[in-house]
C-alpha cells in the first residue's frame, strides 16, 4: 500500500512537497534495501530521487550502493545530485567519487550539493590532477572552466587532517 502512496505523492502533495512526502513514506514503511531497490528501478525519476534521499536514513551499509552507481550513470542532473548526498559520500570508493565530482562539473551540478566534499577532497592529489586535466581540455577547446572546478581544486590543496589520515575513514586516497 505504501508503494501506491509513493506513486501518488506528486498528485496529492504537489510538486513542491512531493519529495519530502516520498521520503517520509519510505521512512514510515521502514523500507529495506530490497524494497528500496525495487522502488528505485520501477519508479519514476522523482521516485528514484526520493529513494536516493532516503538511503542515509534507511540503509547503514553499502548494499544500496548499486542505486547510487546507477544514478551516477544517468544524464538526469537531479539524480546525480541526489546520488552524491550523504549515502554516496559515505560509501562511494575514491575512484567512483572522483569521477562523480567530475560529472558534476561536466553537467553543471553545483558542487555545493556534494555531501562531505571538503573532507573527501582535502589533500586528494589524484582529484587535483583530474581537475587540472579537465581544465586544460576545456581551455584547449576554447570553453570556459567552471568556477566550481577552481573551488574543488582549492579544497584538494588543503592539508589532510588527522581524521582524513585514519585508514577507516574514506578520504579520497583509496585508489
DSSP result, 96-147: HHHHHHHHHHHHT--GGGSTTHHHHHTT-HHHHHHHHHHHHHHHHTTPPPPH
pLDDT band at 15 (very low <50, low <70, confident <90, very high): confident
Q: Is the pLDDT of residue 49 over 70?
A: yes
| Among 129, 79, 140, residue whose Cα is nearest residue 104 | 79
Mean pLDDT score across all residues of the chain: 89
Task: Round to the nearest angstrom and report the end-to-end CA distance of the chain.
Answer: 43
CA dihedral in degrees (23, 26, 32, 35; nearest 10)?
-110
Over residues 41-64, the mean pLDDT reads: 95
Q: Is the pLDDT of residue 162 over 90?
A: no
Q: Are 83 and 100 in contact (CB under 8 A)?
A: yes
pLDDT at 160: 54
pLDDT band at 40 (very low <50, low <70, confident <90, very high): very high
108-125 tens-digit pLDDT: 999 999 999 999 999 999
Q: Is 60 helix (H, G, I), strand (E, B) or coil?
A: coil
Q: Are 146 and 105 in contact (CB under 8 A)?
A: yes
pLDDT band at 9 (very low <50, low <70, confident <90, very high): confident
pLDDT at 152: 96
Distance (Å, rounded) from C-alpha 151 to C-alpha 126? 16
pLDDT band at 149 (very low <50, low <70, confident <90, very high): very high
Residue recorded with cell 590543496:
157
Range with the lowest mean pLDDT among 33-37, 77-81, 162-166? 162-166
Q: Residue 39, class by beta-carbon neighbours within 10 Å (0-12 exposed, 13-18 middle, 19+ buried)?
A: buried
Q: Are 96 and 69 in contact (CB under 8 A)?
A: yes
Amino acid at each position: 500500500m505504501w508503494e501506491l502512496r509513493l506513486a501518488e505523492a506528486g498528485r496529492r502533495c504537489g510538486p513542491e512537497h512531493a519529495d519530502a512526502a516520498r521520503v517520509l513514506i519510505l521512512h514510515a514503511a521502514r523500507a529495506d534495501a530490497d524494497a528500496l531497490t525495487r522502488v528505485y528501478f520501477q519508479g519514476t525519476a522523482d521516485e528514484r530521487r526520493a529513494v536516493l534521499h532516503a538511503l542515509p536514513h534507511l540503509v547503514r551499509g553499502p548494499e544500496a550502493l548499486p542505486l547510487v552507481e546507477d544514478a551516477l550513470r544517468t544524464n538526469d542532473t537531479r539524480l546525480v545530485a541526489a546520488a552524491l548526498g550523504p549515502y554516496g559520500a559515505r560509501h562511494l570508493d575514491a575512484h567512483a567519487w572522483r569521477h562523480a565530482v567530475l560529472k558534476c562539473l561536466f553537467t553543471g551540478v553545483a558542487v555545493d550539493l556534494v555531501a562531505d566534499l571538503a573532507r573527501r577532497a582535502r589533500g586528494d592529489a589524484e582529484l587535483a590532477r583530474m581537475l587540472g586535466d579537465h581544465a586544460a581540455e576545456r581551455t584547449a577547446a576554447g570553453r570556459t572552466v567552471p568556477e566550481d572546478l577552481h573551488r574543488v581544486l582549492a579544497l584538494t590543496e588543503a592539508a589532510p587532517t588527522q581524521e582524513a589520515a585514519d585508514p577507516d575513514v574514506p578520504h579520497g586516497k583509496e585508489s
